């Protein structure tokens, strides 16, 4: 399965000319590319697929979808398969 998962943008930075972000998926964070949504801002929600934010989403819809995925038992499976990786801050 390969679903788009909604998440909340919690950090944005630029890397090699591309806007990148840390996105929180209900407690799990991943590094996500914002190339398709260059005007995303911190605290906004997006559907993420294969490490790319592809659609902006309102908070209520994002939370409802996350809860549904969790209830179906697919949330952790999908997050484990996401191409993005957690961003590590320099020490």
**What does the domain layout of the chain look like in residue ranges?**
5-80
Separation between Cα atoms, residue 87 and residue 68, nearest integer Å? 26
State the pLDDT at residue 89.
Answer: 39
Query: What is the average per-residue pLDDT within 54-75?
Result: 88
Asked whether residue 86 carries a pLDDT value surpassing 70, the answer given is no
Options 2.30.30.140, 3.40.190.10, 3.40.50.10800, 1.20.120.1200; CATH of 5-80: 2.30.30.140
Asked whether residue 65 carries a pLDDT value surpassing 60, the answer given is yes
State the pLDDT at residue 81.
Answer: 58
8 Å CB contact between 56 and 44:
yes
Separation between Cα atoms, residue 9 and residue 68, nearest integer Å? 20
Q: Measured between alpha carbons, how far is residue 80 from residues 1, 2, 16, 28, 37 in Å?
A: 12, 11, 26, 10, 23
Asked whether residue 82 carries a pLDDT value surpassing 50, the answer given is no
């Amino acid at each position: 399965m390969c679903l788009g998962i909604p998440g909340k943008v919690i950090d944005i930075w630029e890397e090699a000319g591309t806007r990148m972000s840390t996105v929180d998926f209900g407690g799990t964070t991943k590094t996500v590319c914002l190339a398709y949504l260059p005007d995303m801002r911190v605290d906004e929600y997006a559907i993420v697929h294969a490490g790319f934010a592809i659609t902006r989403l309102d908070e209520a819809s994002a939370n409802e979808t996350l809860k549904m995925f969790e209830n179906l038992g697919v949330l952790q499976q999908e997050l484990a398969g996401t191409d993005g990786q957690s961003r590590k801050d320099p020490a």
